[in-house]
Amino acid sequence: MKGTRALLVPIASTALVMVAAPAGAKPPMASCPPAFQGPFTATQVIEMWPPPPGVPDPEGAILSYDKNGDQRVCVLPLPTGAINIIDNAASIP
């Protein structure tokens, strides 16, 4: 009986650590390809690259590129002054 208790305590402690570790882990933050800047929120994009006048919903237009739902995108400024926007989707192996 005494030997059984000694074995159960380390096993129970290990199980508790294994269950608690993933709960505190943060999901990986997706990043941008090397040529792109970011990831940025739509507000940050609008502040750094103001949209042309007459765009009815610039934030909605920017977030339409957000495919993974984290409210962040990557931006490639073009020589013409326009920008190319893509999602900051992570490549998960």
pLDDT tier at 12 (50, 70, 90 boundaries)? Answer: very low
Q: How many CB atoms lie within 10 A of CB 2?
A: 5
Mean pLDDT of the chain: 78
Question: How confident is the model at residue 3, as a pLDDT?
Answer: 55
Closest CA to 61 of 45, 38, 37: 45
Question: How confident is the model at residue 27, as a pLDDT?
Answer: 52
Residue 16 has pLDDT above 60, yes or no: no
Q: Give the whole-angstrom CA distance, residue 76 versus residue 85.
A: 7
Question: How confident is the model at residue 23, as a pLDDT?
Answer: 53
Task: Say how far residue 41 (Cα) sits from the centre of its chain.
Answer: 11
Mean per-residue pLDDT, 14-26: 46
